[in-house]
Amino acid sequence: MLRSSLRRITIVAAAVLLSLPLAAGTASAAADTTPPTAPRIGYAQGFQCLMVIIGANRSTDNVTPQPNLRYQAFADGQSIGFLTDQGHISGAWGVLHVVKPGPNTITVRAIDAAGNRSAASTGVGVNGFYTPGCTPGHL
């Protein structure tokens, strides 16, 4: 009888202890109102078929761990997609497409787990090259 009670107490205590970090992490993420630092574009180059390759240095945040930040890229203020951060030393990068040929200003914003958006990075100019033979499905 005593052994059964001791076992139940141990199970309840373990369940309480295991739930504490999860509850604390959820509460701090919900209360997070500080945006991440603005990323810095390290590389941006236009290629054929309106393709652009963008690389950005990682941002930091007061709550969200660096690997969990997302990076949204813009061309002339219009979203063109997200960069991928796979933990490489080069930072987050992506192969995306601009929406018009010619000059485009590329910026990137970091987004933390609570949805806070950083200020935009400094804009970098790239040329979108339209190549004959590109099809809308290719873009």
- Number of domains observed in the structure of the chain: 2
Nearest to 29 by CA among 65, 56, 57: 65
How far does Cα 80 stand from its chain's mean position?
A: 14
pLDDT of residue 123: 97
Q: Residues 49-108: pLDDT tens digits?
A: 999 999 999 999 999 999 999 999 999 999 999 999 988 888 999 999 999 999 999 999
Residue 138 belongs to a domain:
no
Give yes or no: residues 20 and 45 share one domain: no
Give yes or no: residues 12 and 48 share one domain: no
Average pLDDT on 11-29 reads: 47
Give yes or no: residues 61 and 103 share one domain: yes
* Domain, as residue range, for 5: 1-31
Give yes or no: residues 27 and 46 share one domain: no
Which residue has better confidence, 127 or 19?
127
Share of the chain above pLDDT 70, in %: 75
Give yes or no: residues 108 and 72 share one domain: yes
Residue 137 belongs to a domain:
no
Distance CA 81, CA 102 (A): 19
Nearest to 59 by CA among 112, 127, 124, 128: 112
Q: What is the pTM of this model?
A: 0.75
CB 125 within 8 A of CB 104: yes
Residue 9 belongs to a domain:
yes
Give yes or no: residues 112 and 45 share one domain: yes
Residue 136 belongs to a domain:
no
Residue 139 belongs to a domain:
no
